[in-house]
């Protein structure tokens, strides 16, 4: 945490310490007129397109064969970075973007001066030029070869899915799929990765060579659970995530925790909202479960804390030292 953020949080301590009563946490973030839920534009998706023919790319490795009275075979010829294939007798021929049939025709035409009746055959030894990259919070970052038609969901599966926290009793994802993007020629495509994983054809699009899938780490898309819980940590946010769920993922409350005094800090530190929720009232059917917003901080207090100021002063150092993925 930066010094500026810490300063803002200290300001929160002072302001909150002046309050004797905290507002009861609304059931939904939108029920508080003073809090504006961050709007995340939903990508429109793309019209489904059929698989395109295989076209050669720099880095592809080919097997060359001349069928003739004087046959010739040369394995593993590479298309260089400039898109040229250097074949025996034919020299350098630009093949990047050509299909195998088109490349064969170019080679055969060049070889006519040496062999009028020879036929050229090209086969793909390794489509090494058809690579895509996966970066960010995934299990296995790196480059992957497209050996055939491959979609976004396939690529994420090849990368082992979203990175998960080690040592957690429950599966905790550390990547923000909502904010993940597929980049093509440096520009993000208008697709949603979660909808791609759900099989929506407008979002689970076919990949093209040199595409980049970037999955950012959880930041505002997480809910931080701190204080008197079994395992303070970040919980991935999703729509309609409830207070009882994040407390369960944090292994519940510790001995001595005040079930009637759970604090929720919401919004930017420059203008935060601080609420109070009661898990005791919820368990007794006297209150409804609270729906959390992106970036909320849930803090479970001890029953002997004397004031609001005491609680938030304890929250400041916890935010400074708590782990962030």
**Residue 53 belongs to a domain:** no
In a domain, 49, yes or no: no
d(CA 267, CA 265): 7
Both 85 and 28 in a single domain?
A: no
Write out pLDDT tens, residues 258-306.
888 898 888 765 667 788 899 889 888 888 999 999 889 898 887 645 4
Same-domain pairing of 28 and 105: no
Cβ proximity of 269 and 315 under 8 Å: no
**Last-in-domain residue among 215, 247, 264:** 215
Is 25 part of a structural domain of the chain? yes
Q: Residue range 154-159: average pLDDT?
A: 96
Domain count, the chain: 3
**Integer Cα distance of 31 and 33 in angstroms:** 6
User: Are 271 and 312 in the same domain?
Assistant: yes
- Assess whether 108 and 173 both reside in one domain: no
Answer yes or no: is 22 within a domain: yes
Q: Looking at the structure, do residues 135 and 208 belong to the same domain, yes or no?
A: yes
- Is residue 105 assigned to a domain? yes
The DSSP 8-state label assigned to residue 79 in this structure reads: B
Stated pTM of the model = 0.69
> pLDDT tens for residues 80-133?
999 999 998 889 999 999 999 999 999 999 998 888 888 999 999 999 999 999
Cα–Cα dist 56/62, whole Å: 10
**Looking at the structure, do residues 235 and 297 belong to the same domain, yes or no?**
yes
Domain range holding 275? Answer: 3-40+220-321
Q: Which of 215, 238, 273 is the last residue of a domain?
A: 215
Show which of 69, 91, 126 is a domain's final residue. 126
Predicted local distance difference test score (pLDDT) of residue 15: 46
């Amino acid at each position: 945490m930066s010094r500026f953020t810490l300063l803002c949080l200290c300001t929160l301590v002072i302001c909150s310490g002046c309050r004797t009563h905290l507002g009861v946490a609304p059931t939904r973030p939108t029920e508080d007129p003073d809090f504006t839920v961050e709007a995340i534009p939903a990508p429109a998706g793309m019209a489904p397109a059929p698989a395109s023919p295989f076209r050669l790319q720099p880095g592809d490795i080919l097997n060359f064969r001349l069928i003739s009275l004087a046959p010739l075979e040369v394995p593993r010829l590479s298309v260089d970075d400039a898109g040229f294939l250097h074949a025996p007798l034919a020299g350098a021929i630009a093949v990047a973007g050509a299909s195998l049939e088109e490349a064969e025709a170019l080679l055969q035409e060049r070889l006519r001066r040496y062999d009028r009746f020879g036929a050229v055959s090209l086969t793909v030894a390794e489509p090494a030029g058809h690579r895509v990259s996966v970066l960010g919070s995934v299990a296995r970052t790196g480059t992957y070869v497209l050996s055939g038609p491959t979609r976004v969901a396939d690529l994420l599966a090849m990368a082992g899915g979203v990175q998960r926290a080690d040592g957690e009793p429950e599966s905790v994802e550390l990547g923000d799929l909502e904010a993940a993007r597929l980049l093509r020629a440096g520009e993000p495509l208008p697709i949603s990765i979660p909808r791609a994983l759900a099989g929506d054809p407008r979002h689970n699009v076919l990949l093209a060579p040199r595409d980049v899938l970037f999955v950012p780490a959880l930041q505002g898309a997480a809910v931080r659970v701190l204080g008197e819980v079994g395992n303070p940590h970040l919980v991935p946010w999703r729509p309609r995530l409830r207070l009882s769920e994040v407390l369960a993922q944090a292994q519940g409350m510790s001995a001595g925790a005040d079930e009637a005094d759970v604090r929720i800090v919401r919004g930017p530190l420059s203008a935060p909202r601080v609420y109070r929720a009661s898990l005791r009232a919820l368990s007794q059917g006297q209150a409804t479960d609270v729906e959390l917003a992106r970036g909320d901080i849930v803090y479970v207090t001890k029953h002997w804390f004397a004031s609001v100021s005491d609680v938030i002063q304890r929250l400041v150092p916890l935010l400074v030292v708590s782990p962030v993925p």
